[in-house]
Amino acid sequence: MNLEQAKNRTEELKPLLKYYTQKYYDDEQVISDHEFDMLMLELKQIEKEYPELITPDSPTQNIGTGSTKKGFEKVEHEVPLQSLQDVFSFEDVDEFLEKMEKAAIEYSRPIDYVVETKIDGLSSSLEYRNGKLWRGATRGNGLVGEDVTQNISTIKTVPKELNEPISITVRGEVFIGKTDFDKMNEERLMEEQEQFANARNAAAGSLRQLDSKITASRPLNIFVFNVQKSDEITFETHYESLIYLEKLGFNVNPVKILCKTRQEVIQAIESIGKMRDELDFGIDGAVVKVNDLELREKVGTTFKTPKWAVAYKYPPEKKETLLKDIICQVGRTGAITPMAILEPVYVAGSKISKTTLHNEDYIKENDIRIGDTVIIQKAGDVIPEVVGVNKEKRDGTEKVFEMPKTCPVCGAEAIREEGEAVVRCIGIECPAKSYRSIIHFASKDAMDIDGLGESIIAELIDRNLISNISDIYNLTFEDIASLKKNGKKFAQNMIDAIEESKHRELYRLINSLGIRHVGVKLAKTLTKYYKTIDKLMEASYEELRMIEDVGEITAQTIYDFFKQDQTIDLINKLKNANVNMKVIEETNKDNRFEGKTFVLTGALEHYSRDEASEIIESFGGKTSSSVSKKTDYVLAGEEAGSKLKKAQELGINIISEEEFISMIN
């Protein structure tokens, strides 16, 4: 590579590395650690060959480019939280050790080392005054971090008071252990929430929550590994300081190997590499540190890294294992996800026995079969996934997998809609969906059962008092009163709310059933054409398709839903509970807004948008979310935005809230 080529490549690498670094500090890992390390190493090698290309803003020269998160106070670190020099071979380690040995001879100091695990988490500092936790802060860019005292104090392994009344600042790594991380992701998978990409991002995102209750709900841990500052006590060696930190009550990094020779250092790195699978916390390397603190002072640091330490980075792992079976799990919204059941294998420090296969397209595109020898990767400690198949090991007994046509939990029809990759169970009484189905049924826009919130529903299910929607109407006063101490008033209010829900409008009942693509607005439209639930259940696909705002997919969804045995069974049970099944006709109906379309924008003083929309619809009008030539009125409140501007451009009639009140009165 000549100078011109080197210059062009550095101009490509610098902004790219800055972008990836910023994403990393924002808890969004775009590429794996190994891929990032290789790009950084390439830049370092170019700058080593052509020093004239080194600029002050180069990622190799800065401590970090991470920014503080809005909502947190900034903290200037009295002692910078520097990063470490990464090395990727034992030759590089040996070169570092040789330099340190020469320095020890030059300064007449003893030479030994401490090799520690490099925890993959979020580096943070803890400040104590007179033995009591005073402040916790994230590393940030190494010079300025974020004040996360309230959050960090929720971590059980962070001592609130030390065993001695000493003032001291220490550095540690906040992380989530492997077992806790796997459990947390399994729970999110069942909840159909987005899974965390890796334990490091999960830990960082959890510590940097603006709501400390969220932080407290996450299984965070911390290992302390360094004394940053203390005016009250001094140490001769790093190892001595670690022992003292344990005495104070800190949760100190458990893997710290004292080494006398180069050979012992290499053996320690190899030993840590072998024990990665057994550790219940993620590591992305082994750190080699000079033990003698005075020698450290003599050797010094660069602006970015200390010269007396390096981090050996282990290469990413790929492992082969047997795909024993493919099973399907049903999430709480009905999504059916294929899961690979694997012969257990350790990859990047985690024991992997199963992983998602995403959807049937992913399985077909990668030609994954039951009985295959598959390749598992967890580079950068991301969620493990099947990245390939060793087809040379096939013996003809492998089986092609097909997604089920019915739900594996309840037996209802499983449907994949056009344009979607997900197969879904449409059974409304499916046990896998019951919790979410009941929450939606009782919600404000549905049957609006006051007091029947998520926590109460969860407790009712846990106590086997309800298992599906219709069970709500079988609850007794005693059932509900048993949920709370002195719960008689609570129980009576709940019984009254359940009884009141039986008299809701038909559109609320339709919305409460959770039919895919059917919300409040479309439910109201359906009641204009079908005055009873029975009429809607009898509607053909062709009839539904003719209704305004009902497309082909939605029409098919509604038709399929009402043909399910589970749906028919639920409706019959609700009828037996005397739940209203027809449009409640209003006398002296005022249709003053019939044929008129309103768009609401900005904040109203006297009404919420939902309340204003209901008023418009009660007078026969309709609302829309966007302004077009078909819009009749734009109701504009305070701080109205782009919709108001578009209405002005199109010459649409713009009315204020006062004018709207005059129109309805």
Active site residues: 118
Alpha-carbon gap, residue 91 to 117, rounded angstroms? 19
318, 149 in Cβ contact below 8 A? Answer: no
Alpha-carbon gap, residue 15 to 23, rounded angstroms? 12
Chain-centroid distance of CA 508 in Å reads: 32
349, 282 in Cβ contact below 8 A? Answer: yes
Which residue, 34, 48, 40, 36, is CA-closest to 6? 48
| Percentages (nearest 5) of helix, strand, coil residues in the chain | 40, 20, 40
**Phi, psi values for residue 118, rounded to 5°:** -95, 100
**Phi, psi values for residue 173, rounded to 5°:** -120, 120
Q: Which residues pair with 127 in a beta bridge?
A: 135, 169
Q: Residues 156, 161, 162, 165: what is their CA dihedral angle, to the nearest 10 degrees?
A: 170
515, 521 in Cβ contact below 8 A? Answer: no
Which residue, 498, 500, 478, 497, is CA-closest to 488? 478
Q: With left for phi above 0 and alpha for psi between -120 and 50, is residue 331 left, alpha or beta?
A: beta
Give me the amino acid identity at 656: S
Place of tokens 């090395």: 87
Which residue, 57, 29, 67, 229, is CA-closest to 145? 67
Place of tokens 């005059």: 662
Which residue, 154, 147, 153, is CA-closest to 216? 154
Length of the chain: 665
Alpha-carbon gap, residue 467 to 438, rounded angstroms? 9
648, 636 in Cβ contact below 8 A? Answer: no
Give the burial class of 469: count Cβ atoms within 10 A of its Cβ; 0-12 exposed, 13-18 middle, 19 or more buried.
buried
Angle at 489 between CA 486 and CA 491, to 5 degrees: 90
Alpha-carbon gap, residue 622 to 215, rounded angstroms? 43
Alpha-carbon gap, residue 288 to 495, rounded angstroms? 66
Q: Which residues pair with 138 in a beta bridge?
A: 124
Q: Which structure tokens are listed for 251?
A: 């949760």
Alpha-carbon gap, residue 151 to 616, rounded angstroms? 46
Give me the amino acid identity at 31: I
Longest dimension (CA), the chain: 102
**Phi, psi values for residue 226, rounded to 5°:** -160, 145
617, 524 in Cβ contact below 8 A? Answer: yes
Q: Which structure tokens are listed for 1?
A: 């590579």
Alpha-carbon gap, residue 417 to 423, rounded angstroms? 7
Q: Which structure tokens are listed for 120?
A: 């993959």
